[in-house]
Amino acid sequence: MPPLIALIGSEHEENLSLRYLASAVAQDGIHAAILPVNDASDVERVVRETIALAPFLVGISVPFQMNAPHALAFATRLREGGCTAHITVGGHFATFEYDNLLRDFPAIDSVVRHEGETTLRELCRRLQTGESLTPLEGAVVRTPAGIVDGGKRRIPALDDLPFPDRRGPALRVMGVNVAPILGSRGCYADCAFCCIYAYAENADGARYRRRSPENIVAEMKEEYDRRGVRLFVCHDDNFFVPSREQNLARYRHLKTLIDEAGMTGIALVIKCRPNDVHPELFALLRSMGLIRTYVGIETNSDEGIVSLNRRITSEDNRRALQTFRALDIYHSFNVLIFDPEATMDGIARNLDFMEEFADVPFNFCRAEVYAGTPLKQILEQQGRLVGDYFAWGYSMRDARVELLFRIAVTAFSSRNFKADGVANLNMGIRVDQEMLRHFYPTAWDAAWHERVRDFSRRVGLDSVSALRSAFDFVQTVALDDHAGVKAFTLSLSRQVARADLAFVAECKALRREMERRVGIVRQTLDSSGDGDTMEGGRLPWAAETSRLGALTSPSGTVTAPSGALTAPPGALTSSVGLDLATERLPVPASLRATARHHGGGVA
């Protein structure tokens, strides 16, 4: 058997970071077992599986603060269970907080900083040969004599990396095989709150790197032929450079290569900044199969644009969304209506913007503080940073804005921050709708499309209305009227919860209707031998309950209420809660800190 390592991380969808690492070590004849830990309930099972495998190295992905406690607890449990492997951690959070992690978690032997493909290969080689682990470029290693920082390692050209490990069946959404793909790493922008910018800027190499179109299409073709993938979810943090001409040239060339490769009927999901949205460019992308764009609006207030260093204008935001409307391209966005310098006037502008585009699924919250970001440095210098390295927080400069935030984050805690909350259901049902239109066009019609869009509009308007009532209350309430604030917050929370019950029921009804429409098409295909096999008159993937409110069991099967159809691993029915549909907002640090201090999990 080849030498074995274990790679641990979340994998609701294919985790490209783990799968790139698996491909990297495979070049040296090492097999990487990929063991998903998606929530706290997975920990004990995966600890047992990891110890049974007896790997010589365990790599744990710690990309974000919000799930770091679970990941680090996993390392501790491995040691308690008798694991003697070298345990290393990596990811954005670990890259910046390596000192704290090695100090507070003795189970960890090393931290791989920045992109880890080359460093992990070298770490594995030294562990196998018995060479000294220090100094090791790209890693910080614990030794008996202390912590040794090997310095940064130059990050490689992306075309030089092997394609990510694609073991196992492709994810299936609405009967369509789906795969994530990366055409670039990093972002050309330098937003103050962004961990992506901080991570890329701190590395030894270009802040934004792209693969060649030829390299991208080679991977797409392999997935298209081998696993039947037809929907490619581009996880590029920014799909473009700040040049309309260069973008047009790149994607015209990509389209030519896709056409020459014979990849017909595919669809794309991308992310972008509003200033990169141009009609000609997105008309081209639409012709290539674009079905969803996440556009990073983030804020439409003047002070937010400045304090978050967005380097755009409010007109860029409006023009981008108007362009998508004109081209009939589905899009969604988030708004960080609360930031350290937010004002009531700025929040009013953001509410106006959200109301103007209420038919576009959106979510809203506060700009959170991530390790290594300019925002963290600014707040630290100003003496406004509170909390610890797992959950940094701050108070808004304006006391009434801070009060509005606290009311809103309580009233909207379920709607905005749960994977199956109404905000994510709204985004998910709209992606499902676009998949219906693209992959099952005979099941789609304009009246149905407007019905789904009207659902989004009513969700958006309800959120704006509830926020406006809180806005009006905060304008006049005495800041020390704690009883009045508590009573209003409770009343608003109940109002939002009642509305959510109705929205969830309506979303499920829309989902069932969508399944009925597609089922008619698939029955026709099945009778011709070209479709999914029908089971009891239903599609094997058609069970809206499997994503709208059900849970995933440790075995990977989707558990649903009694009598409902269950879906096997890889056959999830809806895009709800998946990256292809949403850009999930982090739970605010204040709520995460409360959960940790009371022994609860981190959402």
Place of tokens 């109301």: 355
Spatial separation of the C-alpha atoms in residues 121 and 141, rounded to whole Å: 15
Among 139-153, 178-192, 299-313, 565-579, the range scoring the smallest mean pLDDT is 565-579
- Classify each residue of 394-420 as buried b or exposed e, where b means 16 or more C-beta atoms within 10 Å of its C-beta: bebbbebbbbbbbbbbbbbbebbbbeb
| Structural Rg of the chain based on CA atoms | 24
What's the confidence (pLDDT) of residue 244?
96
Q: What is the pLDDT of residues 138-162, one digit of tens each?
A: 999 999 999 999 999 999 999 999 9
What confidence tier does 585 reach under pLDDT thresholds 50, 70, 90?
low
Return the half-sphere exposure (C-beta side, CA atoms, 13 A cut-off) of residue 601: 10
Q: What is the mean pLDDT of residues 68-82?
A: 91
Q: What is the pLDDT of residues 213-223, one digit of tens each?
A: 999 999 999 99
What's the confidence (pLDDT) of residue 515?
86
Q: How is residue 526 written in tokens?
A: 């099945």
What's the confidence (pLDDT) of residue 1?
80
Q: What is the pLDDT of residues 233-274, one digit of tens each?
A: 999 999 999 999 999 999 999 999 999 999 999 999 999 999
Spatial separation of the C-alpha atoms in residues 378 and 193, rounded to whole Å: 10
* Closest to 545 (Cα-Cα) out of 519, 568, 564: 564
Which residue did the predictor score with more confidence, 482 or 521? 482
Instruction: Decide the pairing of beta strands 208-210 and 176-181.
Output: unpaired
Return the half-sphere exposure (C-beta side, CA atoms, 13 A cut-off) of residue 32: 28
What's the confidence (pLDDT) of residue 532?
55
Q: What is the mean pLDDT of residues 489-499?
A: 97
Which residue did the predictor score with more confidence, 230 or 560? 230
Q: What is the pLDDT of residues 395-432, one digit of tens each?
A: 999 999 999 999 999 999 999 998 889 999 999 999 99
Q: What is the mean pLDDT of residues 86-96?
A: 96
Instruction: Decide the pairing of beta strands 139-143 and 146-149.
Output: antiparallel
What's the confidence (pLDDT) of residue 521?
80
Helix residue ranges per DSSP H, 54-130: 68-80, 92-96, 98-104, 117-129
Q: Report the predicted TM-score, pTM, of the whole model to 2 decimal places.
A: 0.90
What's the confidence (pLDDT) of residue 584?
61
Q: What is the mean pLDDT of residues 502-520?
A: 90
What confidence tier does 534 reach under pLDDT thresholds 50, 70, 90?
very low
Instruction: Decide the pairing of beta strands 551-552 and 558-559.
Output: antiparallel
Q: What is the mean pLDDT of residues 10-26?
A: 95
What confidence tier does 560 reach under pLDDT thresholds 50, 70, 90?
very low
Strand ranges (E), 10-109: 31-36, 57-61, 86-90
Q: How many CB atoms lie within 10 A of CB 480?
A: 8
Residue 545 confidence (pLDDT) above 80: no
What's the confidence (pLDDT) of residue 553?
31
CA angle (358, 179, 236) in 5-degree steps: 60
* Closest to 572 (Cα-Cα) out of 584, 581, 563: 581
Residue 587 confidence (pLDDT) above 90: no
* Cβ-contact 293, 271 below 8 angstroms: yes
Amino acid at 544: E
Residue 316 confidence (pLDDT) above 70: yes
Q: What is the mean pLDDT of residues 553-578?
A: 40
Instruction: Decide the pairing of beta strands 290-295 and 331-338.
Output: parallel
Superfamily of segment(s) 4-149: Response regulator (3.40.50.2300)
Residue 444 confidence (pLDDT) above 60: yes
CATH 3.80.30.20 residue ranges of the chain are 168-506+581-597
What confidence tier does 67 reach under pLDDT thresholds 50, 70, 90?
confident
What confidence tier does 65 reach under pLDDT thresholds 50, 70, 90?
confident
Mean pLDDT computed over every residue of the chain: 89
Q: How is residue 66 written in tokens?
A: 């919000």
What's the confidence (pLDDT) of residue 537?
46
Spatial separation of the C-alpha atoms in residues 219 and 237, rounded to whole Å: 19
* Closest to 242 (Cα-Cα) out of 285, 272, 200: 272
What's the confidence (pLDDT) of residue 520?
79
- What does DSSP assign to residue 101? H
Residue 231 confidence (pLDDT) above 60: yes
Spatial separation of the C-alpha atoms in residues 291 and 330, rounded to whole Å: 6
Residue 90: helix, strand or coil by DSSP? strand
Q: What is the pLDDT of residues 165-177, one digit of tens each?
A: 999 999 988 889 9
CA–CA distances in Å: residue 180 to residues 173, 291, 293: 13, 14, 14
Q: What is the mean pLDDT of residues 463-476?
A: 98
CATH 3.40.50.2300 residue ranges of the chain are 4-149
Spatial separation of the C-alpha atoms in residues 113 and 559, rounded to whole Å: 38
Specify the DSSP element, H or E, that contains 339: none
Question: Could you tell me which CATH class the domain 168-506+581-597 is placed in?
Answer: alpha beta
What's the confidence (pLDDT) of residue 530?
58
What's the confidence (pLDDT) of residue 525?
63
Spatial separation of the C-alpha atoms in residues 534 and 25, rounded to whole Å: 41
* Closest to 404 (Cα-Cα) out of 356, 460, 461, 350: 350
* Cβ-contact 330, 292 below 8 angstroms: yes
Q: What is the mean pLDDT of residues 330-340?
A: 96
